[in-house]
Structure 1
Amino acid sequence: MHRRQFIKLSVATAASLTLTSWGKASASWSMQSSLNKAYSFIDSMMDLYDRGDHLRLIQSYKGGYLGSIGFDPAFTYDNALAIIAYLSRGLGKDKKRATVLGDSLLYVQENDPAADGRVRDAYEPSQLLLEDGTPNIAYRWGQGGSATGNQAWTGLAFLWLYLTTKHHRFLQGAESIGTWILENTYDTRGAGGYMGGVDAANNVLTWKSTEHNIDAYSLFRSLYNMLGNINWKNAADHAYDFIISMWNGEGGFFWTGTGTDGTTTNTYPIPEDVQTWSYLAIQDPHLQRSIDWAAENLAAQDSIFRGVSFSNADTSKVWFEGTAHLALALNRRGAARDLEQSELLIQYIRLAQEKAMNTDGKGIVAASSDGLQTGFGYSYYASLHIGATSWYCIAANRSNPFQP
């Protein structure tokens, strides 16, 4: 199970392509123009159901196969990314939009029936407050659970907003989420760390994800850096210990996590995000080989598009969000040829913005073509995606979302 799960398909045949074999993508449009178009897409999706200062969340996908089946949830993770993307550019209008989204996430947190600081994995993408003041909060497509990673990303978005606006309500929201993670997912089995969260029926998800622990580490470490409370440092160290336990030193990559027993390592599939996010979050040079592992083992080519795939379960299609992860990690590492390769990846995402299936010339589709298998029982499609578009903006602006 994974926090972005939504549709199950069978596993496709894998293919591979090494990063070093790539040629340069043609880029006749300017970076600034491309970014302006990407932000324009996020704006339009935010205003799909309402405008101005009204509380609302952004629908995650538009068009393509997912549009044809009416798949319209507002994933919490994608909305957190949109906040960070807006603040990465930081224009006055960006800060206003980010604040509306942040206040919307605070509203669903404060009005959750559990009343314990959590947010849910996905919501109805509409007004959250009716004209008569009635809360209009609904979960979409069975996404009423609270995954640890989604909690942490929401907390990170709150911290970005706090540092930008100085409004303490966002710091308080981040602390509430951090407390929820500690009280509901803290684990002592095996190498410790934090469990997957809870499902919609509030059953604890006893498996542990390396990705979720990276997210939790970043939130806890940021809270410690801002507040100096040793409890947050201890919480971050607890996540760190689990992350390091998932390091495969011989292979130079991180395993995905554990099974439901909390101790048995899950060795398949091996996802991209933990390889790049681990560096962005921890920036330990002793672990930087995971970036190269992702570039070499998850490289994908699909028609004119190149980048990396989601995991080693299927490298036949390009996952553009993950391609942005890699571009940013390479840029931040800055070793020989890293900046050149990072720019190359950004150019391929820009190429997708211009020519991918179902593109509107502004947003970024999730996958280069339909049916990209993740290995976790769900797939990505060539539908315009807030998450992929936001990660493109974040990477192009060279912002590190894990270190607000």
Structure 2
Amino acid sequence: MSMRWSHLASLALMLSAVASRPALSTDAVQQLADSSCTALRAAAAAMPGDGPMLLPSYPGLQPGSARALENVAFVYDNALAGIALTACGSPAQARRIADALLLAASHDPSFRDGRLRNAYRGGVASGGKVELPGYWETRGNYWSQDPYQTGTATGNVAWAALLLLTVYDSSHDRRYLDAAVAQLRWIQAHASGAAPPAYEGGLFGYDNAQRAQHWKATEHNLDVYAAATWASRDSHDADLAQQAKLAEAFVQSMWDNTGHRFLVGTLDDGSTLSRDKSGLDAQAWPLLAFNPHPAEWNQVWSWIDSQHRSGDGYGYRRQPDGVWTEGSAQVAAALQASGKPVPDSLWRLIADQRGSGGMLYATPQPRIATDFAIGPDSTYADFFYYHLPHLGATAWAALAAKGWNPFTGRPIARTENPT
């Protein structure tokens, strides 16, 4: 503002600008919903036909820039995208993703137990099967695969079940409910752990060397709780209701009433509690999955703001090194579920991550850390997010802006105890 203007004239101009500025709680949030939904619809429409398909998690990658991620469709990202497409009013495209997961579970190249892998090759399914990701490595002449992508993480399976249940709600086609139940039963059979009773991390590794992951995650068990609760309600299956109770008890036991936060789970031994690390999703998701939730859980907002804030947004790890777009949108959704206003600055930050192709960047920074490792072979915490257009970030932005709860398949219900 020019210093030639008088103080009163400047104040009058500022007040006028504030008065005329559209409220983000209406127009700009709707614009974020529209732009995110448009990007998701465009990605789905780019897949020819109306048959089974999966969307690349990192679209627009330049060939050779990140070979391990090129045309890789992570199940978690696709489940989110399908749920968001449903919230965006495009259930037919969500059904295409669900159909690809049905195909993948029934036509695995190595296993006949109905499992889903953590990732597949993006694109339209052809030849009656969904391909696993990988590429030919000319230096050494071998087919290269990623041992995490070929594995099966419990949380990803539960998210696939959430998508299948979402599609069942919109289609009333029993196949999707049965498929969701089958995935939850796979978790029961392959990821059950004791002392404390909860669901373990799943399986990691190549087909000839799959290893069980015995750590237990708050986030994974929360996912199982939400999917099993929903599936038991629709199927009237008592075993699923029991599965939900077991997962629920573990999540509740992870509430730290001294620190007013959720522990992320256990260490690799499956019993020792992990107290040093914090993941933003493990803090925010309980407020969405459990609604109404215990009133004391609303104290977690102090932890989120003191430990995960990064500028106007939020980062993945404790004392983050940058903004995690997906997690910032998760916070926006959880604030709504807690009956709290979402700051305009948070909505703006999320909207500002939109790239030229419409998808949101995973982070505005070149790279952010999570403090977690991708798998047991990692020699350091090598799980990062990069400044790349990301399907998951775009889907969470759409869900938050639409006010849609992916854990329940309904509009976000505000708690009656926002304090």
What's the TM-score once normalised by structure 2's chain length?
0.81
2:154 corresponds to which residue?
148
Aligned to 1:78: 77
Aligned residue pair count:
360
Distance 1:52 1:291, change over 3 A: farther
Q: Is this contact kept in 1: 2:325–2:361, CA < 8 A?
A: yes
In the TM superposition, what are the counterparts of 1:253-268 in structure 2 within 5 Å? Answer: 253-268=261-276
> After the TM superposition, which of the residue ranges 234-243 and 78-87 deviates more from structure 2?
234-243
Name which of 210, 213, 220 aligns with 2:218: 210
Residues 26 and 347 in structure 1, CA contact (< 8 A), matched pair in contact too: no
Partner residue of 1:12?
none
Q: In the TM superposition, what is the alpha-carbon distance from 1:29 to its structure 2 partner? A: 7.4
2:288 corresponds to 1:280: yes
Q: Deviations over 1:385-404 (max 9, x none)?
A: 00000000001111111112
User: In the alignment, does 2:192 pair up with 1:186?
Assistant: yes
Aligned to 2:353: 352
CA drift of 1:122 comes to 0.5
Alpha-carbon deviations, 1:191-238, whole Å to 9, x = none? 211000011333211111111000011111111222222211111111
The letter of the residue matching 2:119 is A
Q: Matches of 2:313 and 2:407 in 1, distance apart?
A: 22
Contact kept in structure 2, 1:256 and 1:267, CA below 8 Å: yes
Query: Per the alignment, in what secondary structure is the counterpart of residue 323 of structure 2?
Result: coil
Counterpart of 2:117 (choices 120, 131, 142) is 120
CA 1:63–1:269: 2 relative to 1, 3 Å: farther
The match for 1:157 is 163
2:416 aligned partner: none
- More displaced stretch, 282-291 vs 147-156: 282-291
Matched, 1:223 2:231: yes
Q: Cα RMSD between the aligned structures?
A: 2.3
Deviations 1:41-81 (A, max 9, x none): 22343355x31213221000135799722322100000000
> Residue in 1 aligned with 2:375?
none
- Which residue of 2 is the match for residue 46 of structure 1? 44
- Looking at structure 1, the residues matched to 388 and 323 of structure 2 have their Cα atoms a distance apart, in angstroms, of 13
Taking structure 1 as reference, are residues 365 and 216 closer, same or farther at Cα in structure 2, changes over 3 Å only? Answer: same
The answer to whether 1:329 aligns with 2:334 is: yes
Matched ranges for 1:240-255 at <5 A: 240-255=248-263
Distance 2:153 2:342 in 1: 36
Corresponding residue for residue 111 of structure 1: 107
Q: Residues 150, 340 of structure 1: CA spacing in aligned structure 2 closer, same or farther, 3 A cutoff?
A: closer
Could you say if the C-alpha distance between residues 66 and 399 of structure 1 is closer, same or farther in structure 2, counting changes exceeding 3 Å? farther
1:166 aligns with 2:172: yes
CA distance in 1, matches of 2:53, 2:218: 31
What's the secondary structure of 1:205's corresponding residue? Answer: strand
Paired with 1:379 and 1:74, the residues of 2 have a C-alpha distance of 17
Q: Supply the AA of the counterpart residue of 2:304.
A: A
Matched-pair contact (CA < 8 Å) for 1:208–1:257: yes
Asked whether the 8 Å contact 1:121–1:147 carries over to 2, the reply is yes
Number of the residue aligned with 1:233? 241
CA distance in 2, matches of 1:97, 1:187: 36
Larger radius of gyration: 2
Q: Which runs of 5+ in 1 are unaligned?
A: 1-23, 354-358
Deviation track 1:132-158 (CA, whole Å, cap 9, x = no partner) reads x5x352234511100000000000000
2:197 touches 2:250 (CA, 8 Å); kept in 1? yes
CA contact (8 A) 2:56 2:73 kept: yes
In structure 1, C-alpha distance between the alignment counterparts of 2:171 and 2:352, rounded to whole Å: 35
Percentage of pairs with the same residue: 30
Partner Cα separation in structure 2 for residue 136 and residue 213 of structure 1? 27
What is the TM-score normalised by the length of structure 1?
Answer: 0.84
Pick the aligned partner of 2:66 from 55, 62, 69.
69
Structure 1 pair 150–136 and aligned structure 2 pair: CA distance change class (3 A): closer
Is there any run of 5+ residues in structure 2 with no aligned partner, and where?
Answer: 1-20, 135-144, 373-380, 410-419
Report 1 or 2 for greater relative contact order, CA contacts < 8 Å, sequence distance ≥ 6: 1
Counterpart of 1:16 in structure 2 is none
